[in-house]
Chain A
Amino acid sequence: QKEVEQDPGPLSVPEGAIVSLNCTYSNSAFQYFMWYRQYSRKGPELLMYTYSSGNKEDGRFTAQVDKSSKYISLFIRDSQPSDSATYLCAGLRGSARQLTFGSGTQLTVLP
């Protein structure tokens, strides 16, 4: 079993829709949870990270962590065609420095 599981999609939504991207994880030692966005043929870029449980909001993006169910979510409000990319979730143990990634969800926002 992978430590971080993510539905690969693809996911296609109309412009303006609310997008929900989800991951589950199995390693209870994860303390930080990240969401990266990766455009085609580019390196991943960090969108947001959260420490432990709870919500974090940044503009149209909200990251949510539920440690009791080991569930990570990213919500995108008022989605735009420029949001079309692959979204990668990742977990990080406090004692380690390397991230453990999910396989990524490919999102397309249709104009």
Chain B
Amino acid sequence: GAGVSQSPSNKVTEKGKDVELRCDPISGHTALYWYRQSLGQGLEFLIYFQGNSAPDKSGLPSDRFSAERTGGSVSTLTIQRTQQEDSAVYLCASSQLRNTEAFFGQGTRLTVV
């Protein structure tokens, strides 16, 4: 595709439910990142995938958060037993290997009620 695609664009879920957020990176980009942006806050790094290497999960806030990347392309971020503090915009970005320019998707706005 022309850019990074994320779905859904908006998600409202009840506290305690699980959610899955999807990211489709730019074709050919080997690096994929997930960030979280809370209201009035900067972007908080969550997880980074690079090719077939083990992902860098150092930013995941708790074990309720997990992510996978299948076939080196599409990635899914899963949040289990959602809490109200999980409400935020979840942004995905991709870049070419050794390229400092990361392209962001439009994000998924998650609201936990």
Name A residues whose Cβ lies closer than 8 Å to a Cβ of B.
Answer: 4, 6, 8, 32, 34, 36, 41-46, 49, 88, 90, 92, 97-104
**A43-B106, A46-B102 given as contacts; is B91 within 8 A of A104 (CB)?**
no
Asked if B59 and A98 make an inter-chain contact with CB atoms under 8 angstroms apart, the answer reads yes
Q: Which residues of B contact A49 (CB under 8 A)?
A: 100-101
Q: Which residues of B contact A88 (CB under 8 A)?
A: 42-43
Q: Is B104 an interface residue (CB 8 A)?
A: yes
Q: Which residues of A contact B95 (CB under 8 A)?
A: 97
Asked if A98 and B33 make an inter-chain contact with CB atoms under 8 angstroms apart, the answer reads yes
| Among all A-B residue pairs, the 10 with the closest Cβ atoms | A43-B104, A101-B42, A103-B42, A98-B45, A101-B43, A43-B106, A44-B104, A43-B105, A102-B42, A32-B100
- For B106, the closest partner residue in chain A by CB is A43
Bound CA–CA A46/B101 (angstroms): 7
Q: Is B56 an interface residue (CB 8 A)?
A: yes
Residue picked from A34, A90, A97, A99, most chain B C-beta under 10 Å: A97
A-B CB contacts (within 8 Å), total count: 55
Q: Which residues of B contact A34 (CB under 8 A)?
A: 100
Query: What are 28 A-B pairs at a CB distance below 8 A?
Result: A32-B100, A34-B100, A36-B104, A42-B107, A43-B4, A43-B105, A43-B106, A43-B107, A44-B43, A44-B91, A45-B103, A45-B104, A46-B103, A49-B100, A88-B42, A90-B43, A97-B33, A97-B50, A98-B48, A98-B56, A99-B43, A99-B102, A100-B45, A101-B43, A101-B44, A102-B42, A103-B41, A103-B42
Distance (Å) between the CB of B104 and the closest chain A CB?
Answer: 3
Bound CA–CA A101/B91 (angstroms): 13
- Kindly identify, within residues 19 to 52 of chain B, every residue whose CB is under 8 Å from any CB belonging to chain A: 31, 33, 35, 40-45, 48, 50
Bound CA–CA A4/B33 (angstroms): 19
Distance (Å) between the CB of A95 and the closest chain B CB?
Answer: 11
Q: Which residues of A contact B59 (CB under 8 A)?
A: 98
- For B44, the closest partner residue in chain A by CB is A101
Distance (Å) between the CB of B37 and the closest chain A CB?
Answer: 9
Bound CA–CA A96/B43 (angstroms): 16
